[in-house]
Structure formats: C-alpha cells, structure tokens
C-alpha cells in the first residue's frame, strides 16, 4: 500500500502547504509593512511639527530648547528623536548628532542611521526624519525609528505565524500517524482475509476503538459470523444427510440384491420393489426434512406477515380424517387475528410435524387438542395429546436430529419431526417447551409478533 496515496497523507500535504503559505504570507506582510510604517512616520512628523510651531514662535530660544530636551527625554510621542540648532549653527538640544550623513527620502524627508548605545533598540537605528526651519533661522530635526515600527508589527505578526506553522506541522505529524495506522489496519485486514480464504472462519478483525475503521470492522465481523453460521449449517446438513440416508440406502440395496438371488419370481420381485419404494419414500422424506431444517437454521428463509391461526386451522383440517381413522378426536381452539412476521411454509411444516407426531403416538380412542392464543406481546401455540408422552430425561434429546427415543422404536419416521420444529422456532426467535400432559405430551411454543 502506498502511504502517499492515503487520505491522511494528503491531509498532511495540505497542512504542510498551509504552513508554507503562512510563512510566505508573513514575509509578504513584513515586506509590505515598511511603506505603511514610513507613511505613519511622515504623518507623525507632520503632527509633531504642527504641535511645536506655536511654542517655537512664542518661547525664547533657551526655553524652546528646554521643551525639546524634555520631549526627547520623557515626553516625545512614539519615541521621536530631535536636534535643535541655533541660527548660528550651535546645537541647543536633542540627541541627533550634527554632521550625520543623510539621504533624501522624498516628500521633504531624510533618511539616516543613528547609533544607539543601549535601550530597547540598541545598535544601529534606521531613522526617517524632516528638518523644520523657523523664521529666526533656527532649525529643528524631528526623526522616528523606522525599524521600531516594523519591529512592533513583527512582534504581533511572527507569534501568529509561528503558531500557525507549529499547528500545521503538528497536524501534519498527526495526519501521517493516522495514515500509517490506517495502513497497518488495512494490512491486518488483508492478512485476515487471506487466512479466511484459506479456510479459517474463526478469524475476526480487532475492534480498533477510536478508529474510523471500527464500524467497518464491526460490520465485517458480523458478516463473518453469518458466513460461519451458514458454512456450519451446510456442513451439518451434509453430515446429517450422509448419516440419515445411509440406513435407508443400505436397506434399499439389500432389497434389490435379495431380488436378484435365485430365480427371479414375480412375487419375489414385487415384494423387493415394494420394499424399495418404501425405502425411497423414507429417503425422500428424510432429505426434505433435512433441507427444511437447514433452511431454518441458515436464517435465509424470507419472512413476511402471516396468519398463524389460518395456518393451524388448515393443518388441523388436513389431519382430522387421519385422526378419525384411529378413532381419535382432534379439536382446535384458535383466537382470531394471530398475525406475526414469519415464514408461512416453515411454520406450517412445524405445526404439521407436531400434529402428525401427536396422532402417531396417541393410541386408539385418544384425544388431541391444538390451541393458539394471544398472550401479552406474543402468541402461544399448544399441541397436546393423550399418548405415552416423553420422559423428562429424554425431552432435550427429542429435539435433536435423528434421535429416536426407545419409546418410538418400531414407529415409522426419520426422527426429525421435533428437530425441524426446534429449528423453525429458532428462526423465528421463539421458544419450545415439552411438558407432561398427564397423560400425554404437551408441546408449548411461544412466538413474538414482531
């Protein structure tokens, strides 16, 4: 994976460019601040000249020199420097030396360098000033430090620039760190996918708390759980199919081989064909039951609103003639409006298995009841018979696949009836309970409406 192509790296580059732009912008502001500062100084010179003009006209030379001295020491606006010369050329006040080299700055101003032995601006100071000539011949030089103006601007500008640069660099480092972390997470995910493709479905992505990939990892793990569940269901179906079909296929083979032994008499062949058809029917029934169990356990069956009362009523009507053949009574007590979100075909098969088992294990003259009623926020379905029931220690095993209980020996069937019911209930988030009817077996189902 190329780190420079990640979003974090791109953000880092943007922040780096932002830092460079801040430095360049500060430099431009610095270079542009000189003309602005000089314009301010020219205005300050003009204001100071206008302020001193009345004093120069009113006061004697000695008194005016005292004013200039005082202003130069403590009262000068914005740190102005002065030099007052008498008409004879003698220096009367101020700290600007005579004979200093000046350069024309335009608009009546002069530019010169002033050596300062100490203070806030120690060293060479770059001055901008103007000379004022009074009617008596006296001359006054008023000058300001251009560098001080720029330094004042820099004292505000550079901290801000430095803060922007440091923040950008910190953000760049953080973005690169996030990019590297994201790259490592992608590498981990890629390695995990390769292990999954190699057949290890137990692998899961770490949670990565605080990462942008945490939600993706969570959804990915849910998908892996689902894939593992479907894979296990497929393997279980394959194993169960091989186990449950081995017996009927062996008996079918034995019946056909028996038909070939000795003379192929019609009666013998007919008996072999009848036994073979019986075994084939058992194979078909077992295979269909296994496929329905797999469909229920895989959770891929579609769900839609179904009327459970209507399903139960149809199943009871279908099996009532069979119950009457055995002298049994089959009653249905159903509430109306028992609508839930489920798979109608699988629910019908589950109810049919319960009713079929009840008829199969209830003796002649027995009584069977099917009840479906609304209870709280769910639906209860009860199938009760007056047969021998199931011992307490055998009830858990009765819900497992191909578990033929001792009491059912000699009874036709694949042993998948209650296992299918249990799988359908798991699909619907329902519960199944086997209880003693005294006499008989009571099967209670509780299904949610949602």
Strand partners, 382: 371, 444
Please tell me the distance from the alpha carbon of residue 302 to that of residue 344, in angstroms, as a whole number: 9
Are 403 and 240 in contact by the 8 Å Cβ rule? The answer is no
Which pLDDT band holds residue 38 (cuts at 50, 70, 90)? confident
What local confidence, expressed as pLDDT, does residue 438 receive? 80
The string of DSSP codes covering 425-447 is HHHTT-EEEEEE-SSSEEEEEEE
Segment 103-127 shows an average pLDDT of 77
Q: Which of 195-204, 402-411, 430-439 shows the highest mean pLDDT?
A: 430-439
What local confidence, expressed as pLDDT, does residue 120 receive? 47
Give the β-pairing of 431-436 and 81-85.
Answer: unpaired
Which pLDDT band holds residue 257 (cuts at 50, 70, 90)? confident
Nearest residue to 181 via CA among 141, 211, 151: 211
Segment 242-253 shows an average pLDDT of 67
Which pLDDT band holds residue 186 (cuts at 50, 70, 90)? confident
Which has more pLDDT, 42 or 217? 42
What local confidence, expressed as pLDDT, does residue 254 receive? 73
- Give the sign of the dihedral formed by CA 394, CA 399, CA 405, CA 410: positive
| Residue 389 confidence (pLDDT) above 60 | yes
| Residue 335 confidence (pLDDT) above 70 | yes
| Residue 359 confidence (pLDDT) above 80 | yes
Share the mean pLDDT of the chain: 75
Burial degree of 444 (CB within 10 A; 0-12, 13-18, 19+): middle
Segment 313-336 shows an average pLDDT of 88
Q: How many contiguous H segments (helices) and E segments (strands) does the chain have?
A: 9, 13
Segment 54-82 shows an average pLDDT of 81
What local confidence, expressed as pLDDT, does residue 404 receive? 47
Least confident range from 18-32, 40-54, 413-427: namely 18-32
Please tell me the distance from the alpha carbon of residue 19 to that of residue 166, in angstroms, as a whole number: 8
**What is the third-level CATH fold of 304-448?**
Heat Shock Protein 90 (3.30.565)
What local confidence, expressed as pLDDT, does residue 62 receive? 87
Print burial letters for 106-116: b (CB count within 10 Å at least 16), e (below 16).
Answer: eeebbbbebee
| Residue 341 confidence (pLDDT) above 90 | no
Please tell me the distance from the alpha carbon of residue 78 to that of residue 128, in angstroms, as a whole number: 13
Which has more pLDDT, 218 or 2? 218
Backbone angles phi, psi at 110, to 5 degrees: -125, 150
123-132: per-residue pLDDT in tens?
678 888 999 9
133-159: per-residue pLDDT in tens?
998 889 999 998 876 655 555 555 566
| Residue 268 confidence (pLDDT) above 60 | yes
3-153 is a CATH 3.30.450 domain:
yes
The string of DSSP codes covering 55-78 is HHHHS-HHHHHHHHHHIIIII-GG
What local confidence, expressed as pLDDT, does residue 413 receive? 46
What local confidence, expressed as pLDDT, does residue 358 receive? 87
Are 92 and 61 in contact by the 8 Å Cβ rule? The answer is yes
Are 114 and 143 in contact by the 8 Å Cβ rule? The answer is yes
């Amino acid at each position: 994976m190329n780190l420079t192509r990640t979003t974090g790296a791109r953000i880092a580059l943007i922040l780096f460019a932002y830092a460079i732009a801040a430095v360049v912008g500060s430099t431009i502001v610095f270079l542009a601040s000189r003309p602005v500062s000089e314009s301010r100084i020219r205005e300050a010179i003009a204001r100071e000249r206008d302020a001193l003009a009345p004093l120069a006209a009113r006061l004697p030379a000695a008194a005016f020199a005292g004013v200039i001295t005082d202003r130069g020491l403590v009262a000068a606006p914005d740190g102005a420097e002065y030099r007052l010369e008498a008409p004879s050329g003698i220096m009367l006040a101020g700290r600007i030396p005579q004979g200093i080299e000046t350069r024309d700055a335009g608009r009546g101003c002069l530019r010169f360098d002033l050596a300062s032995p100490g203070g806030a601006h120690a060293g060479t100071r770059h001055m901008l000033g103007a000379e004022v000539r009074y009617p008596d011949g006296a001359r006054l030089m008023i000058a300001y430090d251009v560098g001080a103006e720029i330094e004042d601007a820099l004292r505000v500008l550079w901290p801000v620039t430095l803060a922007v640069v440091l923040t950008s660099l910190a953000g760049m480092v953080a973005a690169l760190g996030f990019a590297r972390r994201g790259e490592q997470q992608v590498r981990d995910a890629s390695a995990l996918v390769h292990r999954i493709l190699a057949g290890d479905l137990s692998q899961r992505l770490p949670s990565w708390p605080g990462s942008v990939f945490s939600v993706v990892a969570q959804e990915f793990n849910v998908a892996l759980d689902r894939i593992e569940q479907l894979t296990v269901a497929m393997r279980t179906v394959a194993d169960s199919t091989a186990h449950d079909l081995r017996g009927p296929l062996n008996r079918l083979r034995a019946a056909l081989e028996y038909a070939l032994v000795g003379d192929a008499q019609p009666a013998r062949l007919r008996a072999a064909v009848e036994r073979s058809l019986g075994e084939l029917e058992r194979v078909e029934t077992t295979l269909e039951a296994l496929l329905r169990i797999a469909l229920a356990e895989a959770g891929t069956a579609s769900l839609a609103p179904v009327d459970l009362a209507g399903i139960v009523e149809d199943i009871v009507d279908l099996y009532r003639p069979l119950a009457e053949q055995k002298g049994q009574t089959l009653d249905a007590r159903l509430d109306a409006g028992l609508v839930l979100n489920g798979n109608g075909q699988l629910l019908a098969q589950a109810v049919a298995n319960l009713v079929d088992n009840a008829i199969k294990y209830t003796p002649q003259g027995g009584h069977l009841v099917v009840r479906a009623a609304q209870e709280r926020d769910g639906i209860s379905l009860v199938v009760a018979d007056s047969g021998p029931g199931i011992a307490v220690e055998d009830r858990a095993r009765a819900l497992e696949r191909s578990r033929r209980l001792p009491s059912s020996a000699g009874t036709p069937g694949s042993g998948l009836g209650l296992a299918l019911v249990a799988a359908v209930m798991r699909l619907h988030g329902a519960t199944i309970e086997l209880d003693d009817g005294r006499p008989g077996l009571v099967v209670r189902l509780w299904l949610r409406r949602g």
